[in-house]
Amino acid sequence: MLIAGVLLLVTFGLLERKLEHPLVDLALIRDKGRACAYGAAFFQSFGRAGVTVLVVLQQQIVAGRSAAEAGLTGMVMALAMVIATPVSGRLAAVLTARTLTAIGGMLSVAGLVGLALSPATVPLPLTMGWLVLVGAGIGIFTTPNTAAIMRGVPAARRTVANAVRSMLYNSAAALGTSVALLVVSASGIAGYDVQDAGPAVRAAFTVALLVCAAAEAVAFGFGVARGGPWRVRPPAPERPLSGVGGAAP
């Protein structure tokens, strides 16, 4: 089925290139910056979805904490995202999308690696601290990356451009969740409602979190690969017209 899916995806792409009004306008990815932004959105969503599931399960299965405690732990990441997103919007006045996605990607990778290498039984404040880094990274990353996708798209094609972004985001979230659960299931765990702090289960959660970190690292790479300046260039000062007010050009 996976092989068939790949073949059908390639066939779909080839057909879309020949249609006058394609369902997915592949011309949108001819621009390097937008193509990198699409790639960054996909891998960032992959890692984000995986860690959301993994942390809640790890806190219950390995650390033996209640569902309420696990839910509150995971909520910290969402709160950090809510706080960091408007901050990213303010920073966009002086920093480019390339810089902000790089900063967000580094914070997310650092937080995920910290989570992966920390035992699940560490005090909750430490786990929450790593999740704050992940959430802040996602919040800083998302807004400028979305703006980079939509920038320069003609009005008649904005719906398609955003639909492609949404499709990549949702499919990556589904894939990230599936891969995370697949890695954990491969440990031989009896079920998600059974506490199991065995070495195989602990190792599986570590590997799954590192997979999410790798996805965020790829998103960081796409963010940097888009090229361009790191800071927003100030507008050039207006030059006075020749002969106006006695000023020379």
Any domain includes 228? no
Q: Residues 114, 246: contact at Cβ < 8 Å?
A: no
Any domain includes 95? yes
**pLDDT for res 249:** 46
Any domain includes 3? no
Query: How far is C-alpha 56 from the chain's CA centre?
Result: 19
Any domain includes 160? yes
Q: What is the pLDDT of residues 147-156, one digit of tens each?
A: 999 998 888 8
Any domain includes 234? no
Prediction pTM value:
0.86
Query: How far is C-alpha 175 from the chain's CA centre?
Result: 13
CATH code assigned at 47: 1.20.1250.20
Range of the domain at 212: 29-223
How many structural domains compose the chain? Answer: 1
Any domain includes 103? yes
Torsion-angle region of 22 (φ positive above 0: left; ψ -120 to 50: alpha; else: beta): beta
Q: Residues 180, 53: contact at Cβ < 8 Å?
A: yes
Any domain includes 242? no
| Average pLDDT per block of 10 residues along the chain, 249 residues long | 92 87 82 93 95 92 91 92 94 93 96 93 91 96 93 88 92 94 90 86 95 96 92 70 48
Query: How far is C-alpha 81 from the chain's CA centre?
Result: 12
Any domain includes 33? yes
Q: What is the pLDDT of residues 176-201, one digit of tens each?
A: 999 999 999 998 888 888 888 899 99
